[in-house]
Amino acid sequence: MEYRYLLYSKEEGIGTVTINRPEVLNALSQAVYAELYGLFEEIEEDSEVHAVILTGSGGKAFVAGADIAAMQPLNSTEMRGFIDISRKAFDRIYSLSKPVIAAINGFALGGGTELAMCCDLRIASENAKFGQPEIGLGIIPGGGGTQRLSRLIGETRAKELVYTGDIIDANTAYTIGLINKVVHLDALMSEANALAQKMVTKSSVILSFAKKAINGGMNVDLSSGLDLEAECFALCFSTEDQKEGMSAFLEKRKPAFKGR
């Protein structure tokens, strides 16, 4: 499938997705959401890809937000359709069986913060800015900003950002736990690739179990989460990679995982 607003490459088990609308700071439109969904569907089925990096083109923005010009004239019913398309894309990224790393190179506001939160890990350049400024537009976040944000940084901090619309810098985002690491802009992609490469060396099937356990456990009570963890843990013992990993440990050698 050809993509108008996305660039995609893969190398050594790592797929790199770049949102490519630099003229509007990579703003998210319905067409971009549809392309993200389609590409991540392809990535899910591609056995050659074991980890994904998601970034934005240019050095100014990861994603500056949703496309306000496209949203402004919509009525409530039409806007619900817009949100349904965005949620489909965001859920596809969040539920991907492979790790997804956001390489945040500049503004990540509104839908940009929401998109970054769908990824498993987030590395930001020093010039990155985060926020849910929707309140200043007479709306609230509609792509997960009232839900994923509080789960990541806590209810009180999330309410402050949503209620005030304040924009925070990368170091503040790191301090409150929104991102994993802050690096120089010119080192961003190399750092993201290095992190992705660590995951490529692991078992892809076991990583998928780990992601299923963590993501699934976030939204249930502790007892149910522990049940899910136990289920995923037990499933590891149905794989070749569990046998290989433990054998390698006992034989004092590096494991040769096959993803099955």
Active site residue 114: yes
Which amino acid is it at 88?
A: K
Contact indicator for 179, 173 with CB cutoff of 8 Å? yes
Is beta strand 100-104 parallel, antiparallel or unpaired with respect to 6-11? Answer: unpaired
Q: What angle is formed at CA 57 by the lines to CA 24 and CA 65, rounded to 5 degrees?
A: 45
The residue from 12, 45, 134, 244 that is catalytic is 134
| CA-CA-CA-CA torsion sign (53, 57, 59, 62) | negative
Instruction: Residue 180: name the closest of 85, 104, 112 by CA.
Output: 104
The residue from 114, 126, 160, 229 that is catalytic is 114
Active site residue 155: no
Instruction: Residue 167: name the closest of 127, 139, 138 by CA.
Output: 127
Catalytic residues: 114, 134
